Structure 1
Amino acid sequence: MARRGQRQSGATRPAPQRRRPARDADGLLPVLARAVREVESAVERSDVRPSVRTKFQVVALLVREERSRVNADHTSSDAYRAEQLRRLDGIATILAKSAARETTLLGLLAEDAVISEAAASLKREMLIAAGQEPPREEPVSRPTTPADTTVRRVVPQTVVQRQLANPFLAPDFSSAPARPPRPGRLAGWELITPLLRSFEHAAASASKALPEPTTLRTAEGLELMPHQARLIASAAAGHRTFLLADEPGLGKTAQALLAARAVGAYPLLVVVPNVVKTNWAREAGLWTPKRNATVIHGDGETVDGFADIVIVNYEVLDRHVGWLGDLGFRGMVVDEAHFIKNKKSQRSRNVLQLSERIRTRAGRPLLMALTGTPLINDIEDFTAIWEFLGWIDETGPRAELMESLEETDLTPADPGFSAAARARVIDMGIVRRRKVDVAADIPARRIADLPVELDGAIGRSIRDAERELADRLVARYETALATRTSGSTVDGIDHDLVRRVAGWERSDRDSAKTGENVFSLVRRIGRAKAGLAADYAAQLAHSVGKVVFFARHIEVLDAAEELFTERGIRFSSIRGDQSRTTRQKNIDAFVNDPDVSIAVCSLLTAGVGLNLQVASNVVLAELSWTNAEQTQAIDRVHRIGQAEPVTAWRIIAAQTIDTKIADLIDAKAGLAATALDGSDDEVAASADFQLEALVALLTNALSE
């Protein structure tokens, strides 16, 4: 008791003035259960204050510690430990659901998340309330102020260098500032609600008329589809705000990047979900190769402060919003813009703050909101997007839209106002094309690669394991080279020996005893991608309806189904261990029930004998070992009778052996096509993908 009194005397308030929390007779779990319900309630109300974020983090820390303690407790009965773990799982599930609703909480779960003084203090109080003795010393990462208990603001060093190189970065006053709307017939009317309602019952497609393009090729000779070129032509002609709501698979990323190039909107800020930020960097290199793109990871230690295109994901935007607002951007793109639909969320406030800052400094910046979600659903969700684009503010339409509405000479009391107002809002820059509308412009079936970064400890572990495998291959190669008795020498890499070494590794059953082999490594990569792949499938389901999700391993299928369950997304599970009756029941549910959004399929057992053409989007969470296996999966959707072009989204772990396997699949697909056209190539002789992947890994290692 004396020690506890000493710790309390070191707190901000003197011990006599601080009321000690009442102890809970049942231990820590009831304390955690009450706290997590308070967090859940706050998230549901969109009232995530700093104190709620602190409580979320502390509950997560204590759940981890209590789980470790229970697992290590061999003095209690198995039944008691099972019950305690079950209750802890219940608390963890509520935490996960809360984080799914308010994704800014996810950063508090990271290994390197800062434990503020407020969090350390709350943790002590909860332990005392549970009747436990807190540790003598609570680690505190660094001193914090009350305003900085949950959000760390950082300024990367290269950004400081850019600011020093441009100390007098001036706003762009080349365009006249926006005038306040002049009083007219609509003065005094509440207009936001009528504008939103005008979209609810309209049957016509919500898409702005766009000019015909002068060319379908980029400066580098890349081919554009006509619908893409029309939007770029509109930007070049002077339009600066777009709500680009094309269906997934129609190239919104390329359109945004090329629109920015057409109007010189650099530097360009791009805010995206974490799952697609690597793909944005790759697409920038493809479509705008003369413009340097940089991706912000974590605290931005690797960011290039002088880049033309800055890509940041929603989850880390909090800590970078300060310096991003001062960098002088002339354009901003928000991908999956429905993420900001809740204006009370922190990420929405950050995006709107940056948009306002850019519009103030740049005059007429390029602002683009990208989303595949149909506008006719949940139209209130688009209030934040219209505000981001500068069409409205908290009170009503801004000057440009207001003047356009005044030109109709109508008020909300007039019968024709709804149709006229909707047309004026669409003309502000709403563009939506469906696959079926532009089917003649796009291939009937295409594979779109979506590279993802494996961050954190899991990503580091996989990269370390891959290096270990490469080092073992190099050691085998060097040993074989040194002990060769034939006396022959080869300049550079001996590719025949490389293939023999890869074959030895491929057939060596004992290699797993000394480290990773190619099978276990690929399986680990699949598990690491599972959450990202499922997250993207969930986004697709929200945007376009039914999606087929393919994976090879049971744990990946399980992880995907768990995420869909947490998000309230109905799915059908189609696996090899099901009875014929259960399997058919689940297939029928996906095909016939409009509320079943996703079919979760085993790549090995559901890749044949299925007709799932009710969907036109496929997510390949794991790569196949043969092109035929991949093709069979896609053909469950791309079948006779399919009315829409099919897109297969292939999730690839960047900077891993995953990329090599993807390249091999594509190469073998081309080789097979050549053979079918009459070539004498021996396709079967080079069909061992495991061997080819090891050859590529060893060759790259020897080339470094």
Structure 2
Amino acid sequence: MQTKAMSFYSSIDLLPAGPPKQFPSLQTHLIKFSLLLFYRCMIADEMGLGKTVQAIAVAYAFRKEWPLLVVVPSSLKYPWIEEMERWIPELQPGDINLVENKSHTMGISSSKVTVLGYGLLTTDARPLVEALTRQRFAVVVVDESHYLKSRNAARTKILVPLIQSAKRAILLTGTPALGRPEELFMQIDALYPKMFGTWTDYAKKHCNAHYKYFGRRRQWDCRGASNLDELHQRLSRIMIRRLKAEVLTQLPPKIRQRIPFDLPKEAAKEASASFAEWERLMKGMGSGVVATDNPFTQVMSLVTQMYKQTAIAKAGAVKDYIKMMLEAEQLKFLVFAHHLTMLQACTEAVIEAKAGYIRIDGSVPSSERIHLVNKFQSDPETRVAILSIQAAGQGLTLTAASHVVFAELYWNPGHIKQAEDRAHRIGQTTSVNVHYLIAKGTFDTVMWSMLNRKETVTGCTLNGRKEYLKADQGDKDKWEFLNFADAWTPGEMVLPLEGNEGSVKDDSTTRISS
């Protein structure tokens, strides 16, 4: 089969006449490799290596078999269309159909290319699903395919059959597994059904699946990891994976630093009380002595509370840190956060410092995000990008920044590394300094340990070796300075967003409709 693929490649006019002929040699090599993998593969290059351009070129190689379906996070619909128009100039305006809502099905049957966001693939989207099925797409491209990690999600149940029925399929993701091997199965099964056996077979072999008791309730636990070396070898048959350190030798380094600091006295006292309650619940679960039928839910509720409590407790220090960074003239940087309360505090800091900024969270329309990105990239007066980890942590290029600040941590290393690589990617000309602000004695310390445990699992699975979020302890002057930060109280009103007239309720988390 590989000889057949090589013969096919040698006879095909891979790239259109025009800008795509100017592909860097690295991307041209990866495009060839994609075609050798029997026309169905996962391009899992590390973030920042140009997966979008590779996928467009491979899809173009099969243009005689179109129609083409492109499924992306809602925030990336317009960037994808812009890239396709750039690299395939022969596409006419009417050739690309952007599906805007679940009833927008008329253009699907008459367009060469259909683009839609994950957010439309829901249980009540029957007319849309029927139209997509009738079209019989021969070529399907799925960006950020880790969105298919849940076997029970509606978008997975809708999209996997479309991928399986297509003659050609390309899945793109820099983080195939955000934290555990179980997140890989549906992506594998979409490309090659039953190649790794049934879900039960896969879970037993690679997820250390077993029955576990949570209090008195027995549950099938497949959150573990096992036989990772074998899984890595099996994945290499269907997955292309390149790391920046291996192929972009000229890319400036990424330097991580942890900036630890103490909380104000009252906030530290609250954090300590929450930890005591958490330890009590965990001991109860371990001994089987619990007060409820579902102690796991009780623990997760407390964890969520501690996560938000940490955001509020450290917000004052984060504000001071942002203002300190703004004292360095011409420095441009990104600030990532999760809770709206923290995004609000970061926004207040920039406004109080009278600095130019953009802000992208789940309330900013997809069509507006690309304009905000262009503003940050081109305007020297726009010095800060305040970003939701969920809404802006993927698919955006923000290489004008030389520093990345994490005001908060997140649940898995995949999202964290994706966010880092908004700045550390092709086009970056300086080293990228990543600062993690860690409040001592809070949920931050738990999350940092958890992130590194998960990173060892995903590193073994995807890259064949143990990896960690290596971060040196930052300058003593920086973290001692933060020890004197004042406490911060969330205001009742979220400040207006740059480039967005609407407002959002500060109800704990930022969500993106994708």
Structure with the higher fraction of residues in strand conformation: 2
Larger relative contact order (C-alpha < 8 A, sep ≥ 6)?
2
User: TM over 0.5, yes or no?
Assistant: no
| Larger Rg belongs to | 1
TM-score tier, shorter chain, comes to: 0.3 to 0.5
TM-score, reference length from structure 1: 0.33
